[in-house]
């Protein structure tokens, strides 16, 4: 079950954190993986470490791993890099839109009334345009081959109002959820599924002042891990999940959208 042998996956923003966990999980199920990041060294290091780990885990066929450094907000760069990935690994079957947060910038939570409009764009660019650009670059080939899996890593902030200073981030994440729903319906009869995972608070934030008090209100009692999200992506990417589309699934330790 959930065998991804022979499939080709692109995971964006996979040089660290959640994306690195997703790339590892897909590869462990047999998918060849392109590890994207806007920071070239991060993509290369993650791809090298993942390839070394796979080589020692002795599966029957060792999947290929390659670094694919590019900026998801740059449509021309996305088209050209995805063409290169397809030339090296084969056409992309599984797209995981994971790059997010404030993109290459620091995420400084600020209430909308105090936020300079000059700071809006960095959230919209990576969390919404990044998803549009990468989906655009893979969708025609998926339609031709009548198989595809598109998974967008969203956030509870895209579903609920929060007093955390993340309004523009939430607007972009909500936009990506709505976009996935349209892609799901437009392509429902073409073997392509499109879903969003709305994450709760993850253990990739290493500032305990941000996470400590929030961890206490998570029903399961802990932050999420990249492995939690990787497992969900393996399921959604699989043949077995062909009837799962147009969904936004909360992966959040039991927190409910308010
Ligand atoms: N961390 C959380 O608590 C949390 C909660 C809800 C949702 N999410 C979402 O999960 C996803 C992953 O989060 P994370 O905490 O692992 O993030 P992270 O910031 O640790 O890692 C994201 C990676 O994406 C890369 N990246 C940023 N902009 C890019 C771009 N334009 N093109 C290509 N790569 C780019 C970064 O260089 C970084 O390596 C994001 O979409 C985030 O919004 C995270």
Give the mutation target among 19, 40, 103, 180 for probing the ligand 1 site: most ligand atoms within 8 A of CB.
Answer: 19
Taking all residues of the chain, what is their mean pLDDT, rounded to a whole number? 96
Top-confidence residue, 206 or 116? 116
Percentage of the chain exceeding pLDDT 90:
90
Rounded mean pLDDT, 44-69: 93
What is the reported pLDDT for 135?
99
CATH class of the domain defined by 8-251: alpha beta
What is the reported pLDDT for 18?
98
DSSP, collapsed to helix, strand or coil, labels residue 38 as coil
Q: Which atom of ligand 1 is nearest to the CA of 169?
A: 43
What is the reported pLDDT for 70?
98
Give the mutation target among 17, 121, 159, 223 for probing the ligand 1 site: most ligand atoms within 8 A of CB.
Answer: 17
Task: List 74's β-bridge partners, or say none.
Answer: none
What is the reported pLDDT for 171?
98
Can you tell me the distance from the alpha carbon of 20 to that of 225, in angstroms, rounded to the nearest whole number?
11
What is the reported pLDDT for 212?
76
Q: Which atom of ligand 1 is nearest to the CA of 202?
A: 3
Give the residue from 77, 97, 27, 95 showing the smallest Cα distance to 57.
27
Is residue 61 very low, low, confident or very high in pLDDT (cuts 50, 70, 90)?
confident
pLDDT tens-digit profile of 83-99?
A: 999 999 999 999 999 99
What is the reported pLDDT for 60?
72
What is the reported pLDDT for 133?
98
CA angle 210, 164, 38 (to 5 degrees): 70
Report field, pTM of the whole predicted structure over 0.85: yes
What is the reported pLDDT for 256?
80
Pairing of strands 32-37, 192-199: unpaired
CA of 101 to the centre of ligand 1 (A): 5
What is the reported pLDDT for 121?
97
Can you tell me the distance from the alpha carbon of 238 to that of 234, in angstroms, rounded to the nearest whole number?
6
Can you tell me the distance from the alpha carbon of 56 to that of 104, in angstroms, rounded to the nearest whole number?
33
Determine contact, residues 30/5, Cβ cutoff 8 Å. Answer: yes
Rounded mean pLDDT, 59-78: 94
Map tokens 């650009």 to a residue.
133
| Helix spans in the chain (H) | 17-28, 40-56, 75-89, 120-124, 130-145, 167-186, 208-215, 226-237
- 169 is known as an active-site residue: yes
> In degrees rounded to 5, what are phi and psi of residue 31?
-75, 140
Task: Indicate whether 59 pLDDT > 70.
Answer: no
Top-confidence residue, 61 or 147? 147
Active-site hit among 138, 169, 250, 252: 169
- Closest protein CA for atom 12 of ligand 1: 18
Q: Which atom of ligand 1 is nearest to the CA of 71?
A: 32
Map tokens 């998918």 to a residue.
31
CA of 58 to the centre of ligand 1 (A): 30
pLDDT tens-digit profile of 130-179?
A: 999 999 999 999 999 999 999 999 999 999 999 999 999 999 999 999 99
Can you tell me the distance from the alpha carbon of 96 to that of 18, in angstroms, rounded to the nearest whole number?
11
pLDDT tens-digit profile of 199-225?
A: 999 998 777 777 777 788 899 999 999
Map tokens 């909360």 to a residue.
250
CA of 136 to the centre of ligand 1 (A): 20
Residue 185, number of CB atoms within 10 A of its CB: 12
Residues enclosing ligand 1, CB less than 6 A?
Answer: 12-13, 15-19, 36-39, 42, 71-73, 98-101, 103-104, 126, 130, 153, 155, 199, 201-202, 204-205
Residue 198 makes CB contacts below 8 A (sequence gap 6+) with 154, 155, 156, 158, 159, 173, 177, 248, 249, 250, 251, 252, 257
According to DSSP, residue 37 is labeled E
pLDDT tens-digit profile of 224-254?
A: 999 999 999 999 999 999 999 999 999 999 9
pLDDT tens-digit profile of 172-197?
A: 999 999 999 999 999 999 999 999 99
Chain length of the chain: 258
CA of 86 to the centre of ligand 1 (A): 24
């Amino acid at each position: 079950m959930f065998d991804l042998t022979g499939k080709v996956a692109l995971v964006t923003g996979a040089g660290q954190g959640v994306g690195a966990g997703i790339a590892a999980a897909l590869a462990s199920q047999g998918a060849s993986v392109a590890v994207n990041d806007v920071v070239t060294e991060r993509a290369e290091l993650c791809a090298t470490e993942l390839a070394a780990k796979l080589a020692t885990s002795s599966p029957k066929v060792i999947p290929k791993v390659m670094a694919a450094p590019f900026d998801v907000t740059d449509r021309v760069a996305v088209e050209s890099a995805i063409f290169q990935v397809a030339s090296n690994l084969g056409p992309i079957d599984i797209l995981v839109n994971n790059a997010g947060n404030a993109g290459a910038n620091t995420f400084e939570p600020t209430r909308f009334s105090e936020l300079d409009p000059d700071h809006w764009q960095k959230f919209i660019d990576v969390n919404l345009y990044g998803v549009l650009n990468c989906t655009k670059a893979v969708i025609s080939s998926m339609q031709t081959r009548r198989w595809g899996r598109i998974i967008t890593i969203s956030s509870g902030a895209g579903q609920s109002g929060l007093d955390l200073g993340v309004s523009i981030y939430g607007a972009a994440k909500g936009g990506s959820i709505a976009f996935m729903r349209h892609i799901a319906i437009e392509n429902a009869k073409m073997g392509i599924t499109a879903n969003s995972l709305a994450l709760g608070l993850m253990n990739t934030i290493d500032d305990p002042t941000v996470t400590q008090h929030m961890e206490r209100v998570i029903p399961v009692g802990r932050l999420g891990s990249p492995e939690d999200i990787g497992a969900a992506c393996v399921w959604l990417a699989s043949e077995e999940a062909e009837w799962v589309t147009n969904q936004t699934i909360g992966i959040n330790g039991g927190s409910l959208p308010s």
